Chains A and B, each alone.
Chain A
Amino acid sequence: MPERLDILQGTLDLMVLRTLAALGSLHGYGIARRIEQVSDNRILLNQGTIYVSLVRLDARGWIRSKWGVSENNRRARFYTITRAGEKQLAAETENWERLGEVMSRLQTGGECGR
């Protein structure tokens, strides 16, 4: 059980990072919405967990936050990716791509016999 949770957590972290890298400064709701839109609402997100992910990323110094005003004139916290976060994102993306390659090879199966 915990393994799956970990992968999911890590995946969410990566999604958040990528979103911030693509769109610059966003608040929590904006991030959640963007992820839902991009995935065509295929990801059923408990939106609150975004904030747990944000805390984790912030503690590692990969994102930074600033208080600002939202589009409906509310106090909101805006998150941006840091230099370290971009590096991490690059590394993680490479990881994912390699993992994806291996997964697809495993699934097609034919190449194993060679």
Chain B
Amino acid sequence: MTQWLRVAWSRLRAVASRRRLDREFDAELVTHLELLTEELRRRGLSTADARREALRKLGQPAALRDVHRDERGLPLADALGRDLRHAVRNARRSPVFTAVVSLSLAVGIGATTALFSLVDSLMLRSLPVAGADRLFQIQVVPVVAGAPRKARIAFDPQAFEAVRTRREVFSGVVGFTRLERPLVEVAGRSDPSREVEQVSVNYFRELGVTPVAGRMPDDADADIAVISARLWRTRFDGRQQAIGQMLLVDSRPYAIVGVAPPRFHGFTLDSSADIWISSRSGSPDLMMVARLTSGTSVVRARHAVESLLRDQFLERFRSFPPDQAVDTELLPAGRGLSRLRGQYGSALAALMALVTIVLLATCSNVGNLLVLRSAARGRELTVRAALGASRSRLVFQYVVESLFIAAIGCAAGVALAAWGVVAVLGLLPIAAVPDSLAFRADPRMLGFAVGISVLAAALFGLAPAWRATEVDLTGPLRSSQGTTSPRRIRRLGRGLVACQVGLSVVLLVGAGLFVQTLRNLARVDVGFPVSGLVQVQIDTRFAGSSQSPASQGASQAGGAGPVAGVFRLLRERLATLPGVTAVTGVRNPLMQRSWAVMSVSLPGLERQPDVTWDTAQVGPDFFETMGIPAIHGRVFAASDFEHTGERFVVNETFARSFYPGDDILRRAPSIVGIVRDTRLFDVRSEVRPVMYQMLAREPDRISSLQVRVDGDAAAALPAIRKAVVDVNPRLLVGIRTMQDELDRDISRERMVASTSVLFGALGLVLASIGIFGVASFAVADRTKELAIRRALGAGRWPVVRASLGETMVVFGVGLAGGALAATAVVRVAAVTISDLVFGLTATDTGYVAAALVVLVTVAAAACVVPAMRAASIDPLHGIRDG
């Protein structure tokens, strides 16, 4: 073994100093020759004969040098070095070709890597915690029949403690909760937009996350904080002194005891936590993650806590109808928890499929270009083969050249990927790019990029390398032009271009599918005039004081003081702004996919488990502000809000579903009117039955105000923002035009559409390059023949037709194949990613036709230059060059 190492080392060293060793060996040989010659002369040979005999006895110096080199160095590495230099020379000789090839590869590799990075961090990668695969989130899910979405219920400390006692199934349980918009002060400076998580004190120890500085929190700790490596770096310059310092969260001091590892961002992937705090008083709404003891199944663990959690839940929410089920779920938490995963999982999978097609198209494009160039280099190949280069050497040379091009593409691709991840995340409705989803140039990602680059090189390098094995030793040498190519390459190139055309048809149809979906969504009639409407989201916890949440600072707020009045105060202030025509408020902000499902007993509509409807709790002037007219009866009047009696307004669907063919106002006197159907909570869902209730009480949590303005809603934003902030800066959660809210609601579809359009455009560019290449090649290849035809009296047009006929056939084949593939793809997509398409019917083939039209146009454009070249062929050309 050591012997082997020693030889390998010596060979490596020899490669490094090969020039010196060559020189030394030459010197040795010269000495040897002279000594030998002298000796032979002493034996009586003439000087000339002695020289000749000496050379014969020693062997050919050049051959000896080669053997010597092979013996002392690494022969394969030498060949590799030579071929690499050759590849670099080739690249330098044709910079445009190299740029086109490596740029298109970089785009393909970069886009694939970027998407893989997103898929990986969102869906595949385990959190950097110990034993991630045994971590499960425990959830209690009240099942409300007919509700389109499950409610997520947090736990109180009692439930947490109860679950902790089930040691036979859970070896450990951690609790955590993200604070809503906390006030953070780090190192004496207020630090807005830091994400703070309140965690149980065993959090880090249980997860096996060891601080990189400071110490692990232990059970005796109270009011302590662990900060993220990023916060440590940016605010403390990574100094040890950070440990022991105080930071303030909502005016309460916490001592920093440790710094989390750089890769650890907490369980929530969608936004990365920067501060984890622990205090004796637990949070009233915790999320729970438990570690199963080894050998415990998920089912058994669920059974162990099911009844316990159900009792806890029913005790906490006494108003919950006891006849409805309360389920317990254990969800894998080892890969982190993410809302985006559920929303974007299928979207990313679909885009991953599209980007794979882009990469394939890129490979066939590069392969085609290399084949065309190898045709132009036929003479070089032949010469090399004639000089004795073996076929394997020629193939090896092509492999090295392909890998060289792939390496450039890979390096540029990784840079592009980092940018691409940021660009895609920028299209999502999240505040900032979370660290947990950002592109990381770690071994895993680089390995992926290198892997697909090698794969790509194998794909596109195959054709030209194959071609190298079929060198005809005499053909190109004899030919005067040197460009006449065997039929085989042309067939190969044509096949590749047909593939490209087919793949880009699929890409374009995919893009068409998603663009049509987006257009359908954008055209959805939400049932009320959107323009001129502004939504302000507010957090009334902060109504009383500018420092701490009202709920925590009860003494400052004084119960019903400013908190109770803030909603009215805001409404009054906003109503006086110039241009504002109406103001109202809603308990759950609109277009946030959050709504309440409640049941009320109505005459003729006894409570049944499967009869539910959505509830909107609205303030005065709601229907006037929103512009939702009553169809029957009336909407709420200002006087309704001053009485305590129950009054409801319902939508058409409600009336149609529950009181078909009946006069609902007479049957249920508490219903005062029926209004038009609207989509209030999201754009996509089917319209469900809605009951409007009056917002009698002050909303206690995040709520919203709707403001109707005259003219441009966006222009009114600054004035409205100022009015809210003047009351209390922390009151304001967000302010957007209603159009913005609608756009955000369909941001996933927009992300998918714009990304797939980009991919479609890439496919188009690649296809047009391919068609251009094939058409130009066909014209160049047949110049002589066409010139002779012209000389013999053929018109311009037949010549053009003759030269491009072949390209047209190639294009047609690709088009037909692509259309077939696309039809299949659409079929599959309709089943697998049905949540990504909207409003498309099976017979809706407009986008397929559009894709084909676009492709035909681009192909025609790509043929213009070659066609002009064919048309302008000089009839004399054939004779002169003959």
Contacts and interface: CB of A to CB of B under 8 A. Distances in A.
Interface of A: 27-29, 32-33, 45-49, 51-52, 55-56, 58-61, 70-72, 74-77
B270 to A, nearest CB: 59
A48 B28 contact: no
Given A48-B64, A59-B10, A70-B35, 20 more contacts: A27-B28, A29-B31, A33-B39, A45-B57, A47-B32, A49-B67, A51-B25, A51-B28, A51-B29, A55-B68, A56-B71, A59-B7, A59-B11, A59-B72, A70-B31, A71-B35, A74-B31, A74-B35, A76-B31, A77-B28
Contacts of A59: 6-7, 10-11, 72
Contacts of B36: 29, 47
B3 A60 contact: yes
Kindly list the 7 A-B residue pairs having the minimum CB-CB distance in the complex, ordered from nearest.
A48-B59, A59-B10, A48-B64, A74-B31, A29-B35, A55-B72, A29-B32
A56 B6 CA distance: 11
B57 A46 contact: yes
Contacts of A27: 28, 31-32
B124 interface: no
Interface string B19-56: 00000110111111011101100000000000000000
Nearest to B67: A52
A18 B36 CA distance: 22
A32 B282 CA distance: 90
B68 A72 contact: no
Contacts of B10: 58-59
A27 B30 CA distance: 12
Contacts of B68: 51-52, 55
Given A46-B57, A51-B68, A55-B71, A61 B31 contact: no
Contacts of B67: 48-49, 52
B58 interface: yes
B24 A77 contact: yes
Contacts, number: 67
A45 B36 CA distance: 13
Name B's interface SS: helix
B672 to A, nearest CB: 100
A58 B71 CA distance: 11
Contacts of A55: 68, 71-72
Contacts of B57: 45-47
Given A59-B72, A60-B3, A77-B28, A47 B35 contact: no
A59 B39 CA distance: 31
A101 to B, nearest CB: 27
Contacts of A45: 57
Given A29-B36, A46-B57, A60-B7, A51 B64 contact: yes
A82 to B, nearest CB: 12
A76 B59 contact: no
A76 B6 contact: no
A16 to B, nearest CB: 14
Contacts of A32: 32
A79 to B, nearest CB: 10
A47 B40 CA distance: 14
A32 B834 CA distance: 83
Nearest to B13: A59
A59 B70 CA distance: 13
Contacts of A28: 28, 32
Interface in B473-506: none
Nearest to B21: A55
A27 B25 CA distance: 12
B478 to A, nearest CB: 38
Nearest to B38: A72
Nearest to A49: B59
**Most chain A Cβ neighbours within 10 Å, of B7, B32, B71:** B32
Nearest to A77: B28
A29 B38 CA distance: 12
Nearest to B4: A60
B66 to A, nearest CB: 11
Contacts of A49: 59, 67
A47 B58 contact: yes
A51 B33 CA distance: 13
Contacts of B64: 48, 51
B28 A76 contact: yes
A29 to B, nearest CB: 4
Contacts of A61: 6
A109 B382 CA distance: 59
26 contacts: A27-B28, A27-B31, A28-B28, A28-B32, A29-B31, A29-B32, A32-B32, A33-B39, A46-B58, A46-B59, A47-B32, A47-B58, A48-B59, A48-B61, A49-B59, A51-B29, A55-B68, A59-B10, A59-B11, A59-B72, A60-B6, A60-B7, A74-B31, A76-B31, A77-B27, A77-B28
A24 to B, nearest CB: 18
A19 B29 CA distance: 20
A29 B33 CA distance: 8
A28 B10 CA distance: 20
Contacts of B31: 27, 29, 70, 74-76
Contacts of B24: 77
Contacts of B11: 59
Nearest to A30: B35
Nearest to A44: B57
Contacts of B59: 46-49
Interface in B611-655: none
A46 B6 CA distance: 28
Nearest to B70: A52
A32 B59 CA distance: 13
A35 to B, nearest CB: 13
A15 to B, nearest CB: 17
Contacts of A72: 34-35, 38
Nearest to B10: A59
A29 B36 CA distance: 7
Contacts of A48: 29, 58-59, 61, 64, 67
B485 to A, nearest CB: 40
A107 to B, nearest CB: 33
Contacts of A33: 39
A49 to B, nearest CB: 7
Nearest to B25: A51
